[in-house]
Amino acid sequence: MISGGKYPSTRLRRTRRNIFSRNLVRETVLTVEDLVYPIFVVDGKKKLIPVDSMPGIHRISLDNLDGVANECLKFGIPAIALFPYIDEKLKTDDGRESFNDQGLIARAVRLLKINYPELGVITDAALDPYTTHGQDGLVDADGHILNDETVVVLEKQAICCANAGADVIAPSDMMDGRISKIRNALESSNLKNTLILSYASKFASSFYGPFRSAVGSSMNLGTKGKATYQLDFSNINEALREVEMDIEEGADIVMVKPGMPYLDVVRAITDNYLIPTFVYQVSGEYAMLKGAFKNQWLPEKETIIESLTCFKRAGASAILTYFALDAAKALTSSNSAT
Ligand code: PBG
C-alpha cells in the first residue's frame, strides 16, 4: 500500500512547489461544519463574565445568548455544547439540580430551540457542576464514587435535557453502563431521535483545570481526582474497550478527550470502528495556546487551524473547541490553505 518511489524519478517536493498543486493534493480539509462550540451559561441578567484561565471565553446569561447563537449560525457552525455554572446554593451531595425542569440548562435549551431551531444543541450528562463535592457521580461515606446509583441520576438528567429539546445528550461522566441505561430511558420516554454522543474515551487529565473553574467545580473538587472513573492516560486498549462497549450500548457517536495528546487514540478508534468519532480540544489545550498567542510565541490563526486540521487527519469527524468562532472566522476570511 505504501507507494514510496526513488529519487530523482520521485521528488515529493514537485507537488509542494505551487499553491495550486498543494491545494489539489491536500488530503484533509477543515471546514466550519466540523466545529462544535462549547458555551458556559450562568443565571442572571446581562452577564458576560470572563473566565480568567480561558481568555476570550465567558459565562453568558441566557438573555445574552442571542449574540453567540447568531454568530454560530452566521458562520455555519452546526452545533453548540452547553455547560452550566450554577449558584453554590443549588449544589447538593446528590446533584439533584441536574434534572430540574426549570434548571439553567433546561431553560437555556428551550430558549435556543425556540429561537434557533437549526442550531444543534448538545448537553452534558455528568453531575460535577451540580454537586457540593465536584465529582461527576454520587459519593459514598468512604469517598467512593457510586456507579449504578449515579447512573440513575444521569438517566433523569438526560431525560430532562432531551425533554427540553436537546438534540444530543453527551454523557461525560465515565460511569459503567450509563449509555445503555440512558438509551433505554430515551426509548421508553418516546425520545427515540435524541442522539447520544458518548465521551467514551475520556482520560483523567490535568488539562481540564480551566473548565473546572469555568463551571465552578474546582474548589469543591479540591485535590481529589477522577482516576477511579476516568481512563488512565497510559492506556489505549482500555480506551478501545470503552468505545466498543458504548457502541454496543447504543451510542451514536463517540468522543476522545482531551485532544492533542491523544491523537493515537482517535486514529485507533477510527481504524477499528465505523462509528463517527469526535474529539474535544479541551480547556487546558485552549489555555496553553492562548498563553502562547498572548506572548506572541505562536501565530494565532495558523496554529488554531493546524491544531484542528490535525484532529481531522487523525480521523475525527468533528471537533469540540473553544476556538470554534476564531477558526470559523479564519476559515471564511481564508487563504489559510496556503
Ligand atoms: C464534566 C466535564 C469536564 C469536561 C467536560 N465535561 C471536566 C471533567 O471531567 O473534570 C472538560 C472540558 C474541558 O476541559 O474543556 N464531566
pLDDT, tens digit, 9 for 90 and up, residues 73-88: 999 999 999 999 999 9
318 in a structural domain? yes
135 within some domain: yes
Q: 116 is in which domain, residue-wise?
A: 29-337
Helix (H, G, I), strand (E, B) or coil at 235: coil
What are the backbone dihedrals phi and psi of residue 118, each rounded to the nearest 5 degrees, phi first?
-80, -10
CATH number for the domain that contains residue 324: 3.20.20.70
Average pLDDT for 212-222: 89
Cα–Cα–Cα angle for 319, 330, 81, rounded to 5 degrees: 30
Give the separation between CA 263 and CA 279, rounded to whole angstroms: 9
Rounded distance from Cα 50 to ligand 1 centre (Å) = 18
pLDDT by residue (tens digit) across 95-113?
999 999 999 999 999 999 9
The residue from 202, 226, 290, 312 that is catalytic is 202
Could you check whether the bond before residue 210 is cis, i.e. omega within 30 degrees of 0?
A: no
Q: Residue 148: inside a domain, yes or no?
A: yes
What is the rounded average pLDDT for all residues in the chain?
A: 96
Q: Of 83, 208, 289, which is best to mutate to test ligand 1, by the most ligand atoms within 8 angstroms of its C-beta? A: 208
Residue 208 CB coordination number (10 Å): 25
151 found inside a domain: yes
Domain assignment present for residue 140? The answer is yes
pLDDT value of position 334: 63
Domain count for the chain, please give it: 1
* Parallel/antiparallel/unpaired status of strands 145-146 and 138-139: antiparallel
Between CA 83 and CA 90, with CA 87 as vertex, the angle to 5 degrees is 100
What phi and psi, each to the nearest 5 degrees, are found at residue 316? Answer: -65, 140
Decide if 24 is inside a domain: no
Whether 50 is in a domain gets the answer yes
